[in-house]
Amino acid sequence: MKDVSVLIGGKAGDGINSAGSLVAYLLNHIGYNIYLYFEYPSLIRGGHNFAIVRGSEKSIGTCWNEVDFLLALNQETIERHKDKCTRETVIISNADLVKAPGQGILVNEILKAENAPEIMRNSAIIGGFAKAAGIEWAVVTTVFQDHIPKGVDLNLKVAKRAYDQVGKVHPLMPGPNPPRTLLTGNEAIGLGLVTAGLDTYVSYPMTPSSSLLHFLAEQQEKFGITVVHPENEIAVILMALGCAYAGKRSAVGTSGGGFCLMTEGLSLAGMAELPIVLVVSQRTGPSTGLPTYTGQSDLRFILHAGQGEYPRLIVVPGDAQESVFWSAVAMNVAWKYQIPAFILADKTLSEGTYSVDAAAIPEIKKVDPFLWPGTGQYLRYADTPNGISPLAFPGTMGAVIKVNSYAHNESGITIEDADHVKQMTKKRMRKEEGLTREMQDYPCVTVSGNPDASTALLCWGSPKGVCNEIAVILGLRVVQPLVLSPFPLVQLQNAVRGVKRLIAVEENATGQFAALAEQYGIVPDEKILRYDGRPFSPDYLIEKISEIIL
Amino acid sequence: MTRQLITDTQNTWCPGCGNFSIQHTLKNVLAGMEVEGKSLDDVVLVSGIGCHAKIVDYLNVNTFYSIHGRAIPVATGIKLANPDLTVICCSGDGDSYAEGLDHLIFAAKRNIDITVLIHNNRVYGLTTGQYTPTSPLGFKGKSTPSGTAEYPLNPIELMLASGATYVARGYTRKMDHLKKLVLEGIAHKGFAFIDMLQICATFFPVTDYYSSRVYELSDHNRTDFESACTKAREWDYNSDTKIALGTFFERSLPSFDEKMGQHRIDAAERERAIQEFLLTRI
């Protein structure tokens, strides 16, 4: 099995994330699938940051505890990650700062010789790693040229000196793939939204959603979108709803705390039947919690947020590839049914980097909503058999378009009489029936691992990666719902058919999805829960499963 | 074809309510726009929640009946999405001076090209009589039976400090003057703010008070910020003095919607951009 793990660690501000990316691109170019996990505390400089880059010939979304290479920019990295090292682990370090066995690189000497600034020290470490891993120099050149924004030549010179100092101590066999696209979960979500016609992205910064704001802001001219960062999350969702009313596809992004402020706007979207996509990336709660760590404890909140009753779509992709597809689905469904659609992510997915096989993503395009044909009197809330009223937008000749947060009649005028209230409530809820039927045509639940196994792991979101990996080893079935509302009952029932022992795996303290499934008669026998802000590792999960199974 | 500007909806404002004047002012403004050849299909009226907000049920134009305090971000989103629309935003003093004060300040700060009309009756009417941010000190409402313990804020001064590029005050008993202000506000390219003094016939019926104190600004240089500040402080919404009506300040600056621009591209170009991006991540 071709599989390699590389940990790179240093202080916040040392550029660990970009160094990790360069290592990822190197492994990508020698044919490996990539997963990059980045862990950092909530501060700007100092503190300990590290990235684990894993390359494998199979598709991956998790990291094992042990690493094959340890790239240490400081002594703390060695001390903190001792437990991840074996006798075979190759340590490559900055010999000026680190006392450790292995390959010490004289970084200062190299920088001096090339008259290079301190910021290029990571290139020395990466050059040393490339040699130790037996990666050809031409690959290093290509990766640096493609991914270092400025000073490529000098960075290459620095890297080459380190490359020449180190021995080929742990050469990697090339993997099977052509180089693939590497995307973070947030980038994948952004690309899915753009594919399905996103016009305006509105967001207030909040980890771990902020990198989606940054990505779309950076790309806004190329993708032809508008990106707005208003005064708070209340303004965020209301602006997005204003855009939707005017006919522009909008999305908002936040984490749990910001979403708290959005709930009145969410309920408005439900009542006024305004389409909107909400990207909510979970972190460890409650309250401020652990801002830069992961969790899955907001499912119940997202399911029930907002006063009143109205249909909503909730998709929970488990990796970058699924994020592209399901984000596009969320946008199209929001507009078809004029409802809020959630993309529920978490820090692990949002900020993790994954290999994406673009050819394997089901084709999806922008789907136009039901539009008013332009004849007769326009009724914004026309009561139709499927509950969906044809849309028109301000500026349309002859249409008076009234949307309303109050109970209203078909033309959007406020009413309070019981018959109208009942009629319009039924109309809104009828949309959920159609939505539930339509979602049956989508792959809302996937089964992987050993599909005939009678013991199954039930997971949603980013733990899919770790569950899939250990299921192969332990011979288990993995059942992963990708849509949680409307609840994919039929597909889930089929997926768990023949299962005698169902084990829910979730990153929260109560088993929120397990409880939801139980409401629908699918009762997990066991729950394995983690709620310390760290994602499940395969080692940890195997240990917990062994306790249950044996 | 001239459209009927008032809907069939039954009006439920109290007899004598200041909102009638505002509704008729807007009706006259809209009728004038139509006469001048502007399509009313391109007009959107946004409201918050409260007595003022019923105006969207009564006027037969595109409307967005939003939620308490949030009319301004909705209006901002509409204008950003389609800068060709004329966006008028009716909001109450409870809406925009209390619940949604942040949005008012930021709309002024970013100079979004919308016209904000505050129906300032200085009391919560629909919730049956509590003080608002502009109620005078000592106001006895249902939540403050012994009188408020806080001074009112001065919205004119607040808007000047926030960077509003058109700041005016009108009065519902001076409808022609109010209409002139609303027309100016709509014509103003950028954020236009008009505080409209109106009485609440039930909970703050102070017609005589206003009528004996208001006067129209004359010999005032509306382009001079310092003079605007001085004039704005003449009446602090609490002291017993004369009350200036008219335009305190106006200046021309690029609007937010202009500066944000539009990066619209067609679907094929977007698809190319996505494919090009994917190649940069290999």
Each residue of B90-122: pLDDT tens digit?
A: 999 999 999 999 999 999 999 999 999 999 999
For residue A320, tell me if it sits in a domain: yes
Q: Does a structural domain hold residue A170?
A: no
Q: Which of A442, A472, A491 is the last residue of a domain?
A: A442
Q: Is the dihedral of CA A393, A399, A404, A410 positive or negative?
A: negative
Which CATH number fits the domain that encloses residue A538?
3.40.50.920
Could you give the C-alpha distances from A137 to B92, B163, B258, in angstroms and in order?
Answer: 68, 57, 50
* A89 and A218 together in one domain: no
Nearest to B187, CA basis, from B36, B10, B74: B36
Do the domain assignments include residue A286?
Answer: yes
Please tell me whether residues A47 and A94 are part of one structural domain: yes
Domains of chain B: 19-279 (3.40.50.970)
Q: Measuring CA to CA, which residue among B254, B244, B238 is closest to residue B167?
A: B244
Distances from the Cα of A43 to the Cαs of A49, A253, A290, A531, in angstroms? 10, 22, 12, 22
Q: For B167-216, write each residue's pLDDT tens digit.
A: 999 999 999 999 999 999 999 999 999 999 999 999 999 999 999 999 99
| pLDDT of A43 | 80
Residues A50 and A135 in one domain: yes
Q: Is residue A363 part of a domain?
A: no
Q: For residue B251, is pLDDT > 60?
A: yes
Residue A428 and residue A326 in one domain: no
Residue A66 in any domain: the answer is yes
Residue type, A292: T
CATH of the domain at A299: 3.40.50.970
Q: What is the pLDDT of residue A14?
A: 87
Nearest CA to CA, how far is B247 from chain A (Å)? Answer: 27
Residue B171 phi, psi dihedral angles, 5° rounding: -145, 135
Q: Which of A374, A337, A316 is nearest to A244 (CA)?
A: A337
Any alpha helices (H) in A338-448, and if so which ranges?
Answer: 347-351, 418-439
User: Across the A/B interface, how many CB contacts are shorter than 8 Å?
Assistant: 179
Please tell me whether residues A153 and A226 are part of one structural domain.
no
pLDDT at B226 over 80: yes
pLDDT one-digit tens code per residue, A26-75: 999 999 999 999 988 888 777 899 999 999 999 999 999 999 999 999 99
Looking at CA atoms only, how far is residue B106 from chain A in angstroms? 7
Looking at the structure, do residues A196 and A286 belong to the same domain, yes or no? Answer: yes
CA A455 remoteness from chain centre = 27
Instruction: Please check whether residue A173 lies inside any domain of the structure.
Output: no
Structure-token match 């929260």, residue found: A508
- State how far the Cα of B270 lies from the Cα of B278, in Å rounded to an integer: 12
pLDDT value of residue A171: 97
Lowest mean pLDDT among A353-357, A520-524, B244-248, B263-267: B263-267
Which of A187, A222, A225 should be substituted to probe chain B, the one whose Cβ sees the most B Cβ atoms within 10 Å? Answer: A222
Contact present, B44 and B63 (Cβ < 8 Å): yes
Specify the 3-state DSSP secondary structure of A313: strand
Query: Could you tell me if A454 and A435 lie in one domain?
Result: no
Q: Provide the number of structural domains found in chain A.
A: 4
Q: What pLDDT is attached to residue A416?
A: 96
What distance in Å separates residue A525's CA from the closest CA in chain B?
42
Q: Can you list the residues of chain A whose pLDDT is less than 50? A: none
**Cβ neighbours for A403, distance < 8 A, ≥ 6 positions apart:** A245, A272, A273, A274, A380, A412, B63, B64, B65
From chain A residues 381-420, the ones with a CB under 8 A of any chain B CB are 393-406, 408, 412-414
| Average pLDDT score over chain B | 97
Residues A68 and A136 in one domain: yes
> Quick one: what percent of chain B has pLDDT higher than 70?
100
**Res B260 pLDDT > 70:** yes
Domain end position, chosen among A442, A465, A499? A442
- Is any Cβ of chain B less than 8 angstroms from the Cβ of A230? yes
Residue of A nearest to B261 (CA): A226
In chain B, the percentage of residues whose pLDDT exceeds 90 is 98
Closest chain A C-alpha to B262 CA, distance in angstroms: 7
Tell me: do A198 and A335 sit in the same domain.
yes
Q: What's A22's domain CATH number?
A: 3.40.920.10
Helix intervals (H) in A246-374? 256-272, 299-304, 320-337, 347-351
Of the three residues A380, A410, A442, the one that is the final residue of a domain is A442
Instruction: Give the CA radius of gyration of chain B.
Output: 20
Categorise residue A248: left if φ over 0, alpha if ψ from -120 to 50, beta otherwise.
beta
Question: What residue numbers bound the domain in which A342 lies?
Answer: 184-352
Q: Which residues pair with A49 in a beta bridge?
A: A10
pLDDT score at B1: 57
Same-domain pairing of A342 and A229: yes
Residue A406 lies in a domain: yes
| Facing residue for B81 by CB, picked from A200, A222, A408 | A200
pLDDT tier at B54, thresholds 50, 70, 90 = very high
Q: Same domain for A437 and A476?
A: no
A178: in domain: no
Residue A463 and residue A433 share a domain: no
Indicate yes or no: CB of A242 within 8 angstroms of CB of B64: yes
CB atoms within 10 A of CB A1: 5
